[in-house]
Copies of this chain bind each other. A is one copy, B any other.
Amino acid sequence: MSIFTGPEYDPKNMIFRRLGDSGLRVPIFSIGAWLTIGQTVQGDVVKDILTTAFNAGINLIDTAEGYAQGQAEVEIGRVIKEVGWRRSDLIITTKIFFGVGRKGANDVGLSRKHIIEGLNESLERLQLDYVDIVFAHRPDSSVPMHEVVRAFNFLINQGKAFYWATSEWSARQIEEAFHVADQYNLIPPIADQCNYSALNRARFEVEYAPLYKKYNYGTTVFSALAGGVLSGKYNDGIPTGSRFDLHKDEFKDTVEKLGGPEGIANIEKVKKLTKIAEELGCKVGHLALAWAVSNPNTSTVILGASKPEHVTDNLKALEVLPKLTPEIHDRIKAILDNEPASEKLWFGDR
């Protein structure tokens, strides 16, 4: 194609999974803009990060209208244009809910007005005709579910998104979205962008369990390192320039907990996991990423990065994945000692 000028995509040794019950294949590691792109990171560094990711087989770029109040999308759109990647080589996801900091009552949330106007503005910032997936960045219980589902279907039928998804919705809310989709013959969401790590398991492993079984619901996982705790970074307190230091407000609760009994116990677990990581020839962060990906209900784990080297380093988790034998899993399980209780089966497994 004469119009195609950028570098050709080569997935290398990246692994792909179907995202939920869709036909879309996503790399098991993605690159996300949250807290970095457009905020602590701008300009050429963004290009370096995204190029490093793309060259390593990561072709899913995750952003949101609310990341850096729109600047994340602006940066990503600029880089895509500068590098000249072919559109079909990329999976671009954005999220609507938080707006970009304007003050109007309709500038946030999941009204039909904001969903449609929000994505239109996102596409302008991204300089794209469509995203692959548009997420509802949070549930909005103030809007009837049929309005929400219909608005996302409107965007899909306009060709402005191929799929829609949820983020941090409860299982009940997702069930309601499927209910409404069936009732009005609409397309249901395909995945939830959710918090999941070895230190944060209940919603992902238990609350969502019926959704995996009934709807083959997908997940795009963030905070797989628990904000860095699982990288060992906070083993001796909060270093200057670290995520918890830079985003004190965002992580207020987490940081407070870090000094409490649960936080101290978690640090102990990280230290024990570090020994297993050493046996496997990797860092504890790689082990934690591989552990999150090894759950078959994880579709992709989103990596954050403020330098290209972060991407390269995190991807070492790909090499750890085949080393997670049942025996290693058992040892990790014993160290974590935090398996959430499953939904009660009143008669067991008759």
Interface on A for B, CB 8 Å cutoff? 1, 3, 8-11, 16, 18, 21-25, 59, 87-89, 91, 97-98, 102-114, 116-117, 121, 124-125, 132, 138-144, 147-148, 150, 154, 156-159, 162-163, 170-172, 175-176, 178-179, 182-185, 187, 207, 210, 343, 345-347, 349-350
* 28 pairs from A and B in contact (CB 8 Å cutoff): A1-B125, A9-B102, A9-B104, A11-B104, A22-B111, A22-B143, A23-B109, A23-B111, A25-B105, A25-B106, A88-B106, A89-B102, A89-B104, A105-B350, A109-B346, A112-B162, A112-B163, A141-B343, A141-B345, A142-B349, A154-B157, A170-B343, A172-B172, A172-B207, A172-B210, A179-B182, A179-B183, A184-B185
Secondary structure at the A interface, as helix, strand, loop or mixed, is loop
Residues of B within 8 A of A187 (CB): 150
Residues of B within 8 A of A159 (CB): 116, 154, 158
Given that A23-B147, A112-B22, A176-B175 are contacting pairs, would A102 and B8 also be in contact in the complex, using a CB cutoff of 8 Å?
A: yes
Residues of B within 8 A of A138 (CB): 346
- Determine how close the nearest CB of chain B comes to the CB of A116; give it in whole angstroms: 7
CA distance A103 to B57 in the complex (A): 11
CA distance A269 to B148 in the complex (A): 43
**Partner among B91, B97, B98, B156 whose Cβ is within 8 Å of the Cβ of A106:** B91
Interface centre among A105, A109, A210 (most CB of B within 10 A): A105
Residues of B within 8 A of A170 (CB): 172, 343
- Determine how close the nearest CB of chain B comes to the CB of A144; give it in whole angstroms: 5
**Partner among B87, B182, B350 whose Cβ is within 8 Å of the Cβ of A142:** B350
Given that A24-B106, A25-B105, A182-B183 are contacting pairs, would A113 and B88 also be in contact in the complex, using a CB cutoff of 8 Å?
A: yes
| Residue of B with least CB distance to A188 | B146
CA distance A196 to B140 in the complex (A): 27
| Residue of B with least CB distance to A346 | B138
Question: B350 near A24 (CB under 8 angstroms)?
Answer: no
CA distance A350 to B117 in the complex (A): 18
In the A-B complex, the 9 residue pairs with the closest CB atoms: A23-B111, A23-B143, A25-B105, A179-B179, A172-B172, A88-B117, A16-B105, A171-B172, A175-B175
Question: A22 near B147 (CB under 8 angstroms)?
Answer: yes
Residues of B within 8 A of A98 (CB): 346
Residues of B within 8 A of A97 (CB): 346
CA distance A112 to B171 in the complex (A): 25
- Determine how close the nearest CB of chain B comes to the CB of A5; give it in whole angstroms: 15
CA distance A273 to B66 in the complex (A): 47
Question: B132 near A113 (CB under 8 angstroms)?
Answer: yes
